[in-house]
């Protein structure tokens, strides 16, 4: 056994860091993330860039406990811990961090420090932690021109034009943040991939990042353009069954691994939204995925093949992934993972889980969650997303009877699969505070903690983040935690309640636009809400599109029957008349109006809650969050007005008197056009101005 003892030395120096160069409590720019409780005097990273040196430095700089800290890299491997797990053994005089690997030691170190900052250090006892998912992945949708698709926090973190020569400190800070959460994989570029990322010039740039990330246990992956053999390889085809194409990918994989020996593999978006894929040549998803899988397999790589596909002529987009992938169940190689979005449409504020999770019994599948808030107010709205993700992971598919949860399918527990993964579409940019909204940092944090342990509660994760990011004072923690835990459900109320979906404006997916048409029917809100004089909602019963039939019983009957369909999804699965009587006795119209109003009232209440805790927060962060909360409350009114005054043109029913009156007419709201910059930030000057 190798034994490392870390001396308990308080840092004798401090790097003063704040937005104006002086250590003022009223000035905090948020760059310290959830390390704020430790890093108030600056971020002191290890000068030596080895995993053990990094772990030792974190303890030396930030551990304030009375016990000594011992690092034990086990010579006799513990099968329970695996390559990344660890064990914290608390004793009277020392805390031992035991692990099979140095990476496990680093993860254990960050757990120890997290426990210190959240008051969970034990006097005596043992804690054993092993990650539930082998691959815990951030998907960056960053482009070589520094734009970020669906990114709301500035430009790309990766400055491709200055790499490999210029190495920014933020690259290591990023790796440290991910290691503190147990995130171990990062896909650097957009799934709508530019083939240039695979050129020798760019691989050298990628190598620099991979070298920085490696000591933190973070592997690099790349999204690839399926037509790369044609675009940069000089071939006339990218047909996956063409031997020259397969050989090109074999050589490209060997080239990548010669530059980055621990390269993780490829993420692929194919035959979706105009992206090239095997279907261009009459081949299948399995043909394309397996060709790539064979290229990376000799090096230990994997292929994550996205199931986000849909036919613009299909009668129900929600059914497309299952229709395309179920015929090839069991046909994918063992180092292929089919990556499925949490819901069957596209990261809507609320969706049922994708039926594909329950239909692929002989294929390794993984969940893709969206951390960036594409349909949830971008970086202007406070929306804590973990409850939404947990709703999906805890959902029972009934694939093998009761208890066949999405969590147990994707962790491999249900089918005994050795390979498993989970992905989150990152919300990170080069904004000083990383995510554009101080509270959006909580979603990056929550994804990492969930990827390590999907059974953690939303409350526990929020509690951890608040205490490390702001303060552990109960008078701050309790009201802010309550606000966070309610925020996702409340956003559903003021944006798309009761199963409504895809009613946003096509201009950047920021505000409402239920009246809009599109060049493709499935890009139009009308395709989904189907509002008309006869009512509203998408009929997905067996008398409609038949989508309910893609769910196992009892879900097919549950969703298909009006008497049993959950009301939060009723307009997802049913088309109902405006005067339909809900379980409360109210009409559908009045229930919609009252649900929107609940959302409006709660969003306005965020402003009051934030005012009540002002004394606990530095002035800069308090002011920046307050401005966003005001915008959010106004946007809630805008969503209600736009949706219900438009629907009113069909229902001819009044807004109930106990709801606030709309401040704009349909004619006024239908003329709103949102300008979106290269970084997809809405021009707030063109939004309707609301009185709160």
The string of pLDDT tens digits covering residues 358-368 is 999 999 999 99
User: Does residue 59 lie within any of the structural domains?
Assistant: yes
Question: Are 40 and 155 members of one domain?
Answer: no
Q: Per the residue annotation, which of 111, 346, 351, 507 is the catalytic one?
A: 346
Same domain, 303 and 363: yes
Alpha carbon separation from 324 to 280, 334, 361, 685 (Å, rounded): 14, 19, 15, 43
Q: Are residues 156 and 52 in the same domain?
A: no
d(CA 196, CA 392): 35
Q: How big is the CA angle at 123 (ends 118 and 127), to the nearest 5 degrees?
A: 70
Q: Is the peptide bond before 422 cis (omega within 30 degrees of 0)?
A: no
What's the Cα-to-Cα distance from 234 to each of 198, 274, 374, rounded to whole Å?
A: 14, 21, 37
Q: Which of 108, 97, 96, 98 is nearest to 77 (CA)?
A: 98
**Does the pLDDT of residue 137 top 80, yes or no?**
yes
Mean pLDDT of 636-649: 98
My answer on whether 143 and 120 are in the same domain is no
Q: Tell me the whole-structure pTM to 2 decimals.
A: 0.96
Q: Give me the CATH number covering residue 119.
A: 3.30.379
Query: In terms of domains, do 172 and 274 share one?
Result: yes
Which of 87, 92, 93 minimizes the C-alpha distance to 126?
87
For 219-229, what is the mean pLDDT? 98
Residue 642 lies in a domain: yes
pLDDT at 678: 67
d(CA 569, CA 546): 16
Q: At 684, is the pLDDT very low, low, confident or very high (cuts 50, 70, 90)?
A: confident
CATH number at residue 530: 3.90.1330.10
> Hey, which bits of 479-595 come out as E strands?
none
- Among 681, 32, 51, 2, which Cα is nearest to 378's? 681
> Which is the catalytic residue, given 273, 478, 534, 612?
273
Q: Report the DSSP beta bridge partners of residue 304.
A: 267, 337
Residue 1 has pLDDT above 70, yes or no: no
* SS3 letters across 199-240: CHHHHHHHHHHHHHHHHHCCEEEEEECCCHHHHCCCCCCCCC
Output the pLDDT for position 674. 85
Task: For residues 515 and 163, give the distance between their C-alpha atoms in angstroms, rounded to a whole number.
Answer: 45
Kindly report, residue by residue over 551-602, the tens digit of the pLDDT: 999 999 999 999 999 999 999 999 999 999 999 999 999 999 999 999 999 9
- SS3 call for 11: coil
Concerning whether 346 is annotated as a catalytic residue, the answer is yes
What pLDDT does residue 677 have? 74
Instruction: Pinpoint the alpha helices (H) of 214-317.
Output: 228-231, 243-259, 285-296
Specify whether the CB–CB gap between 254 and 294 falls below 8 A. no
pLDDT at 88 over 70: yes
Spot the catalytic one: 111, 142, 374, 590. Answer: 374
Cα distance between residue 421 and residue 500, in whole Å: 30
How many structural domains are present in the chain?
A: 3
Shared domain check, 438 and 506: no
Average pLDDT over residues 148-167: 97
Residues 6+ apart with CB under 8 A from 671: none
560 part of a folded domain: no
Under the banding of pLDDT at 50, 70 and 90, the label for residue 40 is confident
- What is the average pLDDT score of the chain? 94
CATH number of 184's domain: 3.20.20.80
Note whether residue 565 is domain-resident: no
User: Does residue 659 belong to any structural domain of this protein?
Assistant: yes
Residue 673 lies in a domain: yes
User: Same domain for 582 and 500?
Assistant: yes
CA distances to 141, 145, 147, 155, 276 from 678, rounded to whole Å, are 13, 10, 6, 9, 24
Domain termination site, one of 129, 150, 168: 129
- Predicted pLDDT of residue 679: 72
**Can you give the length of the chain in residues?**
692
Mark whether 374 is an active-site residue. Answer: yes
Q: What are the tokens at 102?
A: 């140095």
Cβ neighbors of 550 (< 8 A, separation 6 or more) are 319, 322, 355, 359, 556
d(CA 663, CA 641): 7
Tell me: the pLDDT tens digits for 3-26? Answer: 433 332 222 222 223 344 433 457
How far apart CA 203 and CA 261 sit, in angstroms, is 12
By residue range, what is the domain housing residue 287?
135-461
Q: Terminal CA-to-CA distance of the chain, rounded, Å?
A: 64
Task: Looking at the structure, tell me whether residues 336 and 454 fall in a common domain.
Answer: yes
Helices 474-495 & 386-393 angle (0-180, nearest 10): 70
- 582 and 638 part of one domain: yes
539 is catalytic: no
Q: Give the integer Cα–Cα distance in Å for 184 and 175.
A: 9
Rounded-to-integer distance, Cα 55 and Cα 50, Å: 9
Instruction: Give the other-Cβ count within 10 Å of 397's Cβ.
Output: 22
Q: Which of 36-45, 74-83, 103-112 has the lowest mean pLDDT?
A: 36-45
Among the three residues 90, 105, 129, which one is the final residue of a domain in this structure?
A: 129
In a domain, 479, yes or no: no
Q: Are residues 239 and 111 in the same domain?
A: no
Domain limit, last residue, from 74, 97, 129: 129
**Same domain for 296 and 281:** yes
Q: SS3 string of 590-654?
A: HHHHHHHHHHHHHHHHHHHHHHHCHHHCCHHHHHHHHHHHHHHHHHHHHHHHHHHHHHHHHHCCC
| Residue 209: inside a domain | yes
Check residue 502 and give its pLDDT.
97
Q: Is the pLDDT of residue 120 over 70?
A: yes
User: Per-residue pLDDT tens for 406-463?
Assistant: 999 999 999 999 999 999 999 999 999 999 999 999 999 999 999 999 999 999 999 9
Q: What angle do CA 487, 493, 497 make, to 5 degrees?
A: 135
Encode burial over 106-145: b for 16+ CB neighbours within 10 A, e otherwise: bbbbbbbbbbbbbeebeeeeeeebbbbbbbbbbbbbbbbe
Question: Same structural domain for residues 533 and 445?
Answer: no
Q: 240: closest CA among 265, 220, 268?
A: 268
Strands (E), 352-492: 365-370, 421-425
């Amino acid at each position: 056994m190798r034994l490392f003892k870390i001396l308990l030395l308080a840092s004798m120096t401090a790097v003063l860091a704040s937005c104006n160069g002086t250590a003022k409590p009223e000035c905090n720019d948020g760059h310290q993330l959830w390390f704020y409780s430790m890093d108030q005097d600056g971020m002191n990273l290890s000068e030596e860039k080895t995993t053990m040196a990094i772990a030792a430095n974190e303890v030396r700089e930030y551990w304030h406990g009375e016990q000594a800290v011992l690092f034990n890299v086990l010579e006799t491997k513990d099968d329970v811990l695996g390559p990344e797990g660890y064990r914290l053994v608390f004793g009277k005089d020392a805390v031992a961090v035991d692990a099979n690997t140095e990476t496990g030691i680093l993860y254990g170190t960050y757990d120890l420090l997290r426990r210190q900052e959240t008051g969970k250090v034990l006097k005596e006892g043992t804690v054993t932690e092993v990650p539930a998912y082998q691959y815990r992945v951030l998907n960056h949708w960053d482009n070589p021109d520094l734009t970020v698709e669906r990114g709301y926090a500035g430009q790309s973190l990766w400055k491709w034009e200055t790499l490999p020569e210029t190495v920014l400190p933020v690259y290591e800070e990023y790796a440290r943040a991910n290691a503190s959460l147990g995130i171990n994989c990062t896909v650097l570029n957009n799934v709508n991939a530019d083939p240039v990322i695979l050129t020798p010039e760019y691989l050298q740039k990628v190598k620099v990042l991979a070298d920085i990330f490696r000591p933190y246990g973070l592997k690099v992956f790349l999204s690839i353009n399926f037509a790369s053999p044609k675009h940069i390889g000089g071939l006339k085809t990218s047909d996956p069954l063409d031997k020259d194409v397969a050989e090109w990918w074999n050589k490209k994989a060997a080239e990548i691994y010669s530059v980055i020996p621990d390269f993780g593999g490829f993420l692929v978006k194919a035959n979706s939204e105009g992206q090239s894929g095997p279907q261009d040549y009459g081949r299948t998803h399995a043909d394309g995925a397996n060709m790539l899988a064979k290229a990376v397999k000799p090096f230990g790589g994997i292929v994550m093949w996205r199931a986000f596909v849909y036919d613009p002529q299909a009668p129900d987009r929600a059914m497309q992934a299952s229709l395309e992938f179920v015929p090839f169940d069991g046909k994918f190689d063992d180092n292929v993972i089919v990556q499925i979005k949490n819901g069957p449409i596209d990261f809507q504020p609320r969706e049922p889980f994708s039926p594909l999770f329950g239909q692929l019994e002989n294929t390794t599948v993984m969940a893709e969650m969206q951390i960036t808030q594409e349909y949830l107010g971008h970086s202007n709205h406070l929306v804590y997303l973990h409850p939404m993700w947990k709703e999906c992971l805890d959902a029972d598919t009934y694939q093998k009877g009761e208890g066949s949860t999405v969590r147990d399918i994707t962790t491999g527990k249900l089918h005994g699969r050795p390979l498993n993964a989970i992905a989150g579409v990152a919300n990170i940019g080069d904004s000083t505070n990383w995510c554009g909204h101080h509270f959006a940092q909580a979603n990056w944090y929550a994804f990492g903690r969930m990827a390590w342990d999907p059974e953690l509660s939303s409350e526990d994760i929020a509690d951890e983040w608040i205490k490390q990011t702001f303060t552990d004072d109960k008078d701050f923690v309790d009201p802010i935690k309550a606000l966070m835990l309610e925020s996702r459900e409340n956003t559903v109320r003021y944006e798309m309640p009761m199963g409504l979906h895809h009613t946003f404006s096509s201009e950047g997916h920021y505000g409402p636009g239920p009246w809009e048409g599109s060049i493709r029917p499935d890009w139009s809100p009308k395709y989904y809400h189907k509002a008309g004089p006869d009512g509203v909602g998408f009929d997905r019963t067996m008398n409609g599109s038949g989508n309910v039939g893609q769910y196992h019983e009892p879900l097919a009957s549950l969703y298909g029957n009006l008497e049993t369909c959950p009301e939060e999804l009723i307009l997802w699965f049913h088309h109902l008349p405006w005067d339909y009587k809900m379980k409360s006795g109210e009409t559908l119209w009045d229930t919609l109006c009252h649900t929107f109003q609940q959302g409006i009232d709660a969003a306005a209440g965020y402003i009051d809650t934030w005012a009540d805790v002002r004394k606990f927060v530095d002035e800069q962060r308090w002011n920046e969050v307050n401005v966003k909360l005001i915008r959010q409350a106004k946007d809630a009114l805008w969503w209600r007005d736009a949706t219900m005054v438009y629907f009113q043109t069909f229902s001819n029913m009044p807004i109930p008197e106990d709801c606030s009156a709309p401040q704009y007419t349909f004619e006024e709201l239908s003329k709103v056009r949102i300008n979106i910059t290269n970084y997809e930030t809405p021009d707030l000057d063109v939004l309707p101005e609301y009185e709160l």
